[in-house]
Amino acid sequence: MSVLPVMAGQPQDGPEKKENPDKGWGIGISAGYAYNMLSIPDAYDYDRHYSAGDGFYVAIPVKYNFNDWFALSGELAAVSKNYSSYRSMQMMAYPWEKVENYYLSVPVYAQFSFGRKKLRGFVNAGIYAGAWLYSHRQGESLGPFDSVLYPYDEVVPFDSRRDNRFDAGLLAGLGLKYRAASCVEIFAEARYMYALTDMQKQYRGHIPRYSNTMVVQAGAVFMF
C-alpha cells in the first residue's frame, strides 16, 4: 500500500467558520444601580412626602442574535425597589420611614442595534414580570400615650389580604455595546421600568402605589 505525498500548495481542510458570525446564542452577567420612584396619589397623607430610593440591579442575560441588528433577550434579575418618606408635621405617627423591597424579575425584550462592526448602539423594548421576595423597613413611631418617638427596624411580613406579590410592567432601554473579541461583547445600558401592577390589592380604602425604576447597568455577554 502506498501513501500519496501531500503536494505543496494543495488546499487543506481547516476549522469550519461560522456561516453568520452575528447569529447565535449568548449568555452573560450584568450589575448596576437602581433608582426607584414610588408613584402614589397626592391626596393621600397630605403632609407625607415620598422620596426615591437607591438600590441595586443584578442580572443574568440570555440572548439570541438573528443578525447584526436584531436580537431577542431575556434575563433573570434581582432588583431592589426602595423608597423613603417623611411627614412635614413631625409629631405625627411615623414621622419618617425607609423601606427596602427586593424582587425577582424576568425581563423579556427585543433589541435593535445600529452602528459599526465593533461599536454599536442599541434600543431595548419589552416587558417584565416578577415577584416580591422580601421587605424591610426602619424609622420612628410616636407612642400612643406620650410624645416620645420610638425607633423600629424590622422585616415587613407578607399580608395576603393586602399585599400584591406579583410585579409586572413595561421596559425601555438605550445603550452601547462593544465586541471586544469574536465571542465577547461588553455593554452599558440605561433602562426605565414602568410598573403596571399595584403594590397592593384592591381592599377597602386601599391607596394605589406603583414602583417605577430607572436602572443603569454594565455587563458582558459571551457568544457561542
What confidence tens digit (pLDDT) does each residue in 7-40 have? 445 555 555 555 666 789 999 999 999 999 999 8
CB 107, CB 80: distance < 8 Å: no
Question: pLDDT-based confidence at 56, cuts 50/70/90?
Answer: very high
Q: 76-85, 89-98, 190-199, 210-219 — which is least confidently predicted?
A: 89-98
Residue at grid coordinates 399580608: 159
Per-residue pLDDT tens digits for 161-195? 888 999 999 999 999 999 999 899 999 999 999 99
Calculated CA dihedral for residues 128, 131, 134, 135, nearest 10 degrees:
70
The set of cell numbers assigned to 31 is 450589575
- Note if the pTM is more than 0.75: yes
pLDDT level of residue 98 (50, 70, 90 thresholds): very high
- DSSP state for residue 200 in the 8-state scheme: B
Among 4-18, 40-54, 55-69, whose mean pLDDT is lowest? 4-18
* Residue with the three cell numbers 410598573: 195
Contacts 24+ apart (CB under 8 A), 65-68: 65/22, 65/23, 65/24, 65/25, 65/26, 65/223, 66/23, 67/20, 67/22, 67/23, 68/22, 68/113
Residue 42: pLDDT band with limits 50, 70, 90: low
CATH topology of domain 24-223: Porin (2.40.160)
Average pLDDT of the chain, as a whole number:
88
Q: Is the pLDDT of residue 6 over 50?
A: no
The radius of gyration computed from the CA coordinates of the chain, to the nearest angstrom, equals 25
For residues 93-106, give the mean pLDDT: 91
- Provide the percentage of residues in the chain whose pLDDT is more than 70: 86
